[in-house]
Structures are given as C-alpha cells and as structure tokens.
Amino acid sequence: MINPDELFMRRCLEMAANGLGHVAPNPMVGSVIVHNGQIIGEGYHTGFGKPHAEVEAVNQVKDKNLLKESTLYVNLEPCNHIGKTPACSELIIRSGIPRVVIGQTDPNGQAGGGIDRMRENGTEVITGVLENEARWLNRRFNTFHEQHRPYLILKWAQSLDGFVDTLRTDPAKEKPAQISDEVCRRWVHKWRSEEQAIMVGAGTMRMDNPRLDVRVWSGKNPVRIVIAPTTGLKPDSKFHLLDGSLPTIVYTFDESLKFPDLEFVTLTKAAPVMNQVLEDLYNRDMISVLIEGGPTLHKSFIESNLWDEARVFSSQLWLGNGIPAARLPHQPQSIQTAGNSQLLLFTNPHPLPAVKQ
C-alpha cells in the first residue's frame, strides 16, 4: 500500500531537483500542499534570492480557506529567519496550516528552528519522511554546513588500461589524447553548469589549456579555480584560464602576481594548500566544486580523504603507456554507459571535514 506522505514527499523532491545549478548557496527545496488527498498548490525554489518553495506553493492555492484543512509537504525544514526572503515557518503559522511533513531538518544553524517554532504554535510536524533521499538531494548544502567545506566532486576520463593522457613533451604541438567522445563531453558541460566552481591545477592548465566553461550545454558558467602555487605566470600568458573572460580565482604563493580581471589569493607555506583553499571557498559560500584537474590534483584530494563523489569515464581506448590515472580506494557504486565509455560513479562513505587554519 502506498504511503501518502512518501508519495507527496517524492513530488517535493522531484520539483526541488529543478533548482540544481540555480539556487546555490541555498538548498534545493520543493513543497506541496494537499487537501483531502488532492494537490492544491505546489512550487520549488527557482533561484537564489527568489521566493522559497513554501511561498510558491501557498501562492498557488486559489482558496486560502482550504489551507486551514491541508497538509504542507516540504523536503527541508522551513526556515525560521528573515534574510533575502521572509521566514517560511511564520508564513505556515499565519496561513493556519495544521500539519507539516518534512524530509530532513536544516543543518544551517542560522536558518533552523522552524520545526520548534511551528510546534510551539500548535502545528503538527512530522519529520524524517524519505530522509535519506532528501539528504542525498541536498548533499552539497549538507556537506557545506556540516563539514564546513564545499562538496567535492572528482572527475576524469581514463583509457581502458588506466591512463589519462599520453606522455607529451611539447603541449603546444601535441594535443591531449581524445579518450572520451562528444556524448561524454556534453555530460561534463552539464555537470559544470550544476556546480558553483570548477578546479584544475597549474599542470593541467599548461598541458591542456582548458576553458572550463559551459559551451555545449545551457546553463551558468562556474567560477574557475586554478591551483598554481609556483607557476612563473606572466601577464602575457596565452592560457584561456587567465584571459579574464570569466570569474577566475588563482591560488598561489607569489604575492606579485597581478593580471587584469583575475583574482589572486596568496597562500602561506605554513599550512597545507588544500586546507587553505577549502577554507577560503567556504568563506565565499561556495558549496560545491567540480575538480577536473590531472592525477596529481586528484591524488592530493584522495590521499587527504577530502572528496565526496568521483565520476570517472573509462573508455575502450587502449594507450599502452602514458600518465596513470588516480586510483580510488572504493568500488564504484554504479556503472552506466555514456557514449564510448563506461561512467563509474563513486561516493566516499567517510569523507573528512575541513581543517580550519
């Protein structure tokens, strides 16, 4: 027999997912209002600074008198603070909605407290309905507030024999090996549009000269991040990442670097580079980063256990020799076909939180 609370919560999650790539650093939230088993209003958070899902759902209800006999479903605890938008808990109380069903509690201490406030005002509140699914949907938001760092997604393509590229000595004349195909490329550009930032190291910038933008998908370009502690960069550099065309942050030890339209963050040699980078990104409200760098950068995150997901394209191409891909300490959770490759999806069961400096 179908549990009606779970049925309507799945609708909340389905709508909330539409906010991916648009609402960060806010969470993805969907809301449904049900009267006598029928949906009379629904909505989701469409963009940062725009009305919350509960507001959208209430506004859809034509006869507001029905709210006093209805149940509101929402995948995340209604907020209890006034920021860019009013507190949703206050809206629910003021509307007279007698019952609220919630997927997961809010890990953001500044916004939480909505459950207590509603209960104190006589609202029946049910929590934990499809909680695992709700937490997975907002894994970026949860990691940011619980681990105090961005959610970290590793991504690379490797040949069947485990190499990410051939051995090249002159990147200006020798192009990178084409391991994956156009289908995989579209997937990657879609992923870029879903995350706030994208990261590579100086080695990948030199060897591949990537753009790290969204060209074959519709969506926002992520903030570009270059980890370049000691690179000897020059203002007349021809690297796309230094062209100033998109917001770009370069982390470096060199205090003298100054390029037009780029932001440089000077690191200290007294602390681990990645801890400094992640702390700075956390302070910027960056809740997710797609890490597309080479195996050196990937290994640094894997060895530090600072990663949450990995997405690896394994193609049928056999290189025989080259630059070995990073190795993950877990089995893939799922494998699916993507163009000429198998897409291996990994999740880290016990990632570490950020280390504050």
Q: Which positions are annotated as active-site residues?
A: 54
Identify the bridge partners of residue 163 per DSSP, sorted by sequence position: 324
User: Residues 59, 60, 65, 71: what is their CA dihedral angle, to the nearest 10 degrees?
Assistant: -100
Query: How far apart are the C-alpha atoms of 333 and 344, rounded to whole Å?
Result: 8
- DSSP classification of residue 62: S
Query: How far apart are the C-alpha atoms of 258 and 162, rounded to whole Å?
Result: 38
Are residues 202 and 228 in contact, defined by beta-carbon separation less than 8 angstroms? yes
Identify the bridge partners of residue 200 per DSSP, sorted by sequence position: 226
Identify the bridge partners of residue 334 per DSSP, sorted by sequence position: 345
Are residues 118 and 125 in contact, defined by beta-carbon separation less than 8 angstroms? yes
Length of the chain: 357
Are residues 12 and 6 in contact, defined by beta-carbon separation less than 8 angstroms? no
